[in-house]
Amino acid sequence: MKYAEILHRCFRCGYCKLPGNYIDFNCPAYAAFRFESYSPGGRMWLLRAWLDEKIKPSRRFQEILFSCTACGNCVEQCALTKIKDELLLAFTAGKETLVVEGNVPPPVRDCLTKLQNYGNPYGFARKKRSAWVMDTPIETYTDQEFLFFPGDVGAFDSRGQELTRSVAMLLRRLGVSFGILGNREVSDGNETNAMGESDLFALLAMDNIRTFNELNINKIITLSPHGFNALKNDYPKLGGAYQVFHYTQVLAAHTGKLPFKNHPPEIQVTYHDPCYLGRHNGEYGSARKILASLPGVEVREMGRSMQNALCCGGGGGNVFTDIIGNGPESPARNRVTEALETGAHTLAVSCPTCAVMLGDAVKSARLDDRIQVKEISELIHHCLK
């Protein structure tokens, strides 16, 4: 297993379980399950024990590994500076070994099978990928300045589709020149990679790269921070180097052009940082810049924000596999509670996975009358004349 040499170097001091300000547990899997075995340090020691044949790759062991949302809090907080950057890589390597051996939980197996067979984790036919367009005037990419890349959740999930349409229509209104791949797009592969299926990731990525190159695409706007991460950081390793932007970065550069209402009713908003925009790529400013520019919007930060943000629980494929679950102590429910503590009635997101996870948490906790999950472009639309 790759990175096996760092596993025993974990002291299990527990910094990885907390945010930098210590206010609550911040490892999503540990916070949800509470056994030390689900903490990053627990995973390190269990991987070592498995390689040493002290434990077997049981279903529980598999679930412990695949409940990791790859949020990167452990990397951010680990006190051991010489190994911290390799923690997530070690967890992914552990998953990769389980994948190769065929020892993965059934939801992971099913998800990977669908990605293999259909190019998406839902198992939908490829021709349905552009169903989100509906009757909007969104054009197929020909020679526009940008490619708009919605990704799996934005293309197939009903809430994700709402976000995709909202962002796409706002980009049009701002005069951004863009087109989409439509049914030629396949999964960006970010979650496939995080689930340890590196070969399948390469297949998916190469499929997209071939299409990008065939169409001479240079600039790409992604809806999903997960896609942003894969295209920006992993595709270049496969020969696909492009200028990749998350849509909030594009919107932040253009919001000055929009005609906002003069005196809209005041709303209190708190912003949830997506892991793949924040901790993984250091982008904390664009969404906040947009929110600060909106009339009538008062932004209230949660105790865990930016580098300390709690993951929604959807990363590492969990939005599809649901291994981390959606019970009362799930990360999404925990996050919604934290949002409510700020006094905000709107929880702003900039990621379709976060929108789905947190939206579902609001519904399952029956908090619909107290807080709404809104994506950034939806809030902008709300403020437009």
Q: Between 55 and 215, name the residue whose CB sits nearer to another protein.
A: 55
Least Cβ distance, residue 268 to another protein (angstroms): 18
C-beta closer to another protein: residue 67 or 161: 67
Decide whether 287 or 324 has the Cβ nearer to another protein: 324
- Judged by phi (left if over 0) then psi (alpha if -120 to 50, else beta), residue 246 lies in beta
Distances (CA, A) of 169 to 2, 175, 181, 377: 44, 10, 16, 9
Distance of closest approach, residue 73 Cβ to another protein, in angstroms? 13
Helix axes 285-293, 247-254, angle to 10 degrees: 40
Beta-bridge partners for 374: 348
Alpha helices in 177-230 (DSSP H): 190-194, 198-214, 225-229
Closest approach of Cβ 337 to another protein, in Å? 14
CB of residue 55 vs another protein: minimum separation in angstroms? Answer: 5
Q: From CA 79, how far away is CA 252, in angstroms rounded?
A: 34
Least distance to another protein, CB of residue 272, Å: 19
Contact indicator for 50, 61 with CB cutoff of 8 Å: yes
Q: Which is nearer to another protein, 42 or 105 (CB)?
A: 42
Distance, in Å, from the CA atom of 276 to the CA atom of 227, rounded to the nearest integer, reads 9
Q: What are the residues binding another protein (CB under 8 A)?
A: 8-15, 17-18, 21-24, 33-37, 42, 45-46, 49, 54-56, 58, 60-61, 64, 79-83, 303, 327
Nearer Cβ to another protein, position 106 or 239? Answer: 106
